[in-house]
């Protein structure tokens, strides 16, 4: 409890402490009335609950106190201690409810803003490949050249694959956002095996060397699906953002389990990331390059997943020579 002998002192206290819950003020003070003081602070410091204390009970000062001072309670002198007690208690409850409401409102506003952006982008990423395919179909129908038609079909296939990836990413986004963690003992050697199998055709076709080293001597507990989602996103980026003409493309995955924490490193010698972009790459729908297809969803999902697992991610990259992502996940 802090006390002040004048309105100015009271204001000074409010300036210094932003956690004041209730302000009780006498109506009759030197220089300023309680109502005037409340009228001022209801604008500059609106959150504390205001109570006016007064020996005068003329109707006009009551009306002023309510209309201009926006007070919560009007307490007449002499007061009963129980009255003050209950007034403060109710004032406190009112304060808590109001500030909770304000926080919720703020969160809602943010959620709506995000939803707007989300809808805009989802419309784009779903409609854009569809419209491309429509345009391509029209060309294919008019063409009599079988090779050209085959080219068009191949491009249509890529376009539809990109659309499919996008839909899977949206699904992933909601799975992460709403899903419960399923903690189990995770063997990174078996994850590595399935990854190698999954990318076998691709790395052969694109002629990329894929090295995996797993160093796991202890058991590690986490959500396997989420870890696989992270690895898949980072690896598919590493494979995708290669330099096309590079004769010795490589991607490496290195996992170290040590003292209950997993350190995962994914390295490539691809096109790299511009240093001005590294802060942005984890943002929703952000794409740092137009050199390759992408929805700007993958790394956003990765960082969302890591938040859920209390993990973190670091990136170091040199444009033109490659990128290293380092992920740290604490075991459960």
Partner 1 sequence: MEIAEKYDFIVIDDSKLDCFIAEKIIQNTGKSASIKTFMAGSDALAYLQSLAIPELQQKIIILLDIQMPVMNGFEFVEAFELTIPEKLKKQICINLLSSSINESDMIRAQSYHSIFRFLNKPLNKDILLNTIQEWQF
User: Which residues make up the interface to partner 1 (CB under 8 A)?
Assistant: 120, 123-124, 127-132, 134-136, 138-139, 152, 155-156, 158-159, 286-291, 293-294, 296
Q: Which is nearer to partner 1, 225 or 278 (CB)?
A: 278
Bridge partners of 261, per DSSP, are: 258, 330
**DSSP notation for 263-301:** EEEEEE-SS---TTTTTTTTSTT--S-SSS---S-HHHH
Q: Which is nearer to partner 1, 248 or 290 (CB)?
A: 290
Q: Which is nearer to partner 1, 48 or 296 (CB)?
A: 296
Question: Residue 297 CB, nearest distance to partner 1 (Å)?
Answer: 13
Long-range pairs of 277-283 with CB within 8 A, sequence gap ≥ 24: 278/315, 278/317, 281/315, 282/313
Q: Which is nearer to partner 1, 252 or 278 (CB)?
A: 278
Reduced to 3 states (helix: H, G, I; strand: E, B; else coil), residue 245 is coil
Question: Residue 286 CB, nearest distance to partner 1 (Å)?
Answer: 8
Question: Residue 66 CB, nearest distance to partner 1 (Å)?
Answer: 44
**DSSP notation for 152-187:** HHHHHHHHHHHHHHHHHHHHHHHHHHHPPP-EEE--
The residue among 157, 109, 112, 164 whose CA lies nearest residue 133 is 157
Bridge partners of 170, per DSSP, are: none
Question: Do 124 and 73 form a contact (C-beta atoms < 8 A)?
Answer: no
Q: Which is nearer to partner 1, 124 or 196 (CB)?
A: 124
Q: How far apart are CA 300 and CA 283, in angstroms?
A: 5
Q: Which is nearer to partner 1, 13 or 136 (CB)?
A: 136
Question: Residue 249 CB, nearest distance to partner 1 (Å)?
Answer: 20
Question: Residue 128 CB, nearest distance to partner 1 (Å)?
Answer: 5
Question: Residue 105 CB, nearest distance to partner 1 (Å)?
Answer: 25
């Amino acid at each position: 409890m802090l006390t002040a002998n004048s309105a100015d002192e009271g204001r000074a206290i409010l300036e210094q402490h932003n956690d004041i819950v209730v302000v009780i003020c006498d109506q009759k003070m030197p220089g300023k009335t309680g109502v005037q003081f409340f009228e001022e602070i209801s604008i500059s410091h609106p959150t504390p609950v205001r109570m006016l204390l007064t020996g005068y009970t003329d109707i006009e000062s009551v009306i002023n106190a309510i209309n201009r001072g926006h007070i919560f309670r009007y307490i007449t002198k002499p007061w009963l201690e129980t009255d003050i007690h209950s007034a403060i208690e109710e004032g406190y409850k009112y304060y808590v409810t109001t500030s909770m409401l304000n926080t919720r409102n703020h969160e809602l506003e943010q959620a709506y803003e995000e939803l707007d952006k989300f809808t805009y982008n989802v419309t784009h990423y779903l409609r854009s490949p569809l419209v491309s395919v429509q345009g391509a179909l029209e060309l294919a129908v008019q063409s009599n050249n079988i090779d050209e038609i085959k080219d068009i079909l191949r491009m249509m296939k890529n376009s539809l694959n990109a659309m499919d990836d996008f839909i899977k990413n949206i699904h992933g986004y909601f799975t992460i956002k709403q899903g419960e963690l399923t903690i189990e003992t995770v063997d990174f050697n078996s994850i590595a095996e399935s990854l190698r199998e999954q990318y076998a055709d691709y790395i052969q076709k694109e002629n990329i060397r894929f090295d995996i080293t797993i160093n796991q001597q202890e058991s590690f507990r986490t959500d396997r699906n989420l870890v696989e989602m992270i690895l898949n996103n980072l690896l598919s980026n590493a494979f995708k953002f290669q330099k096309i003409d590079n004769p010795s493309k490589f991607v490496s995955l290195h996992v170290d389990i040590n003292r209950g924490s997993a350190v995962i490193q994914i390295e490539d010698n691809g096109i790299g990331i511009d240093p001005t972009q590294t802060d942005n790459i984890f943002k929703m729908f952000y794409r740092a390059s137009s050199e390759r297809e992408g929805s700007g969803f993958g790394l956003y999902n990765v960082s969302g997943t890591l938040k859920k697992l209390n993990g973190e991610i670091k990136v170091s990259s040199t444009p033109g020579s490659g990128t290293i992502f380092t992920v740290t996940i604490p075991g459960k």
